[in-house]
Amino acid sequence: MDYVLLTEQFLNGFQLGIILFLMAAGLTLVFGIMDLVNLAHGSMFMIGAFVGGTIAVVTGSFVIGVILMIPAMLIIGIVVEMTTLRTLYPRDHLDHVLATFGLILFFNEATRLIWGPEGLVVPLPDFLEGSVALGAITYPVYRIVIIVVGLLVALGLYVLVAKTRIGMLIRAGASNRTMAGALGVNIPLLFSVVFGIGAVLAGLAGLIITPITAAQIGMGEDVLILAFVVIVIGGIGSIRGAFIASIVTGVIDTMGRSFLDVFLLLFLPENAAESAGPALSSMMIYILMAAILFFRPQGLFPPKGAR
């Protein structure tokens, strides 16, 4: 076993887990607090990539693109919630799915009209190019920055939800929105703020991955599927669960795709292992989700009060 390659792939999986956490954190806030099945959350991932990437290209500064993307995505998220999603809260989840699927189509075509079908390439600034030595391995500086940014965001979310008045209101709305409203909490405003925060987190995830993958129309849909898997594993409404499940999912997915066929060679002929490896690796996180649902339907770390 090449332990240098193993370490590199583990870090790649951790970095994927950070991207999934940024997506899943916003999604679990919206789903857990507002009880809204938001398929258009992946569109926020895409819009953040295009908006922030365009600012970065125009200004020549990726850092400015990240900074200005945050208020832009907050405004976009609040506008979408107020104009479209607010009418869906009394409706059932099927209506949520149909309406937000319509938003996916709308945002995809709007992006195509504004930016064209070719997508957007965002170059990295010089100070984020290159690699850094980590013991026996060298690892790209930018991927380390993604990991550090994700950890800082996770810490910030913990402080926001657990230590601030806004966090207290968010927890109250998640536990019992009717009682919170009766005690004077402005539930519509709270929902708008929560959705805006979710849009910012998704947009940040989309923007920071863009220098690696480029911004493409529909780029958020595959990540959205993994984000739903994460919140099911971690527990709907739990930021801690979303973080742990994201890292576990990212590492399992990356390590499985890299090494499962090698592991299968211990038991299967080479042709069979090479055929079964990619198929099984793509199924591993869904097998994990099914096992969690069977043994612990509420998720690994459900919020307090969840059954």
Instruction: For tokens 């539930």, name the residue.
Output: 187
What pLDDT, in 10s, does the model give residues 248-264? 999 988 888 777 777 77
* Backbone region of residue 60 per phi and psi (left: phi > 0; alpha: psi in -120 to 50; beta: other values): left
Q: Give the C-alpha separation, 234 to 237, whole Å.
A: 9
* Global confidence as pTM: 0.89
pLDDT confidence of residue 266:
73
184 against 291, higher pLDDT: 291
Between 133-142, 242-251, 297-306, the lowest mean confidence (pLDDT) is in 297-306
What pLDDT, in 10s, does the model give residues 105-128? 999 999 999 998 888 888 888 888
Mean pLDDT of the chain: 86
Which residue type occupies 178? T
pLDDT confidence of residue 304:
65
301 against 185, higher pLDDT: 301
What pLDDT, in 10s, does the model give residues 202-216? 999 999 999 988 889
Is residue 267 pLDDT above 90, yes or no?
Answer: no
What pLDDT, in 10s, does the model give residues 43-84? 999 999 999 999 999 998 899 999 999 999 999 999 999 998
220: Cβ contacts below 8 Å, ≥ 6 apart: 23, 41, 42, 43, 44, 45, 46, 202, 206
pLDDT confidence of residue 305:
52
Q: Residue 300 has what DSSP assignment? A: S
pLDDT confidence of residue 101:
92
Is residue 148 pLDDT above 70, yes or no?
Answer: yes
**What average pLDDT score do residues 214-239 get?**
88
In Å, how far are 32, 177, 245 from 302, measured between CA atoms? Answer: 10, 18, 12
| Per-residue 3-state assignment (H helix, E strand, C coil) for 212-260 | HHCECCCCHHHHHHHHHHHHHHHCCCCHHHHHHHHHHHHHHHHHHHHHH
Q: What percent of the chain has pLDDT over 70?
A: 95
Domain residue limits, the chain: 8-215
Is residue 272 pLDDT above 80, yes or no?
Answer: no
pLDDT confidence of residue 307:
43
pLDDT confidence of residue 107:
94
What pLDDT, in 10s, does the model give residues 158-205? 888 888 887 777 777 666 667 777 777 777 888 888 899 999 999 999
Which residue type occupies 5? L
Cβ–Cβ < 8 Å for 307, 243: no
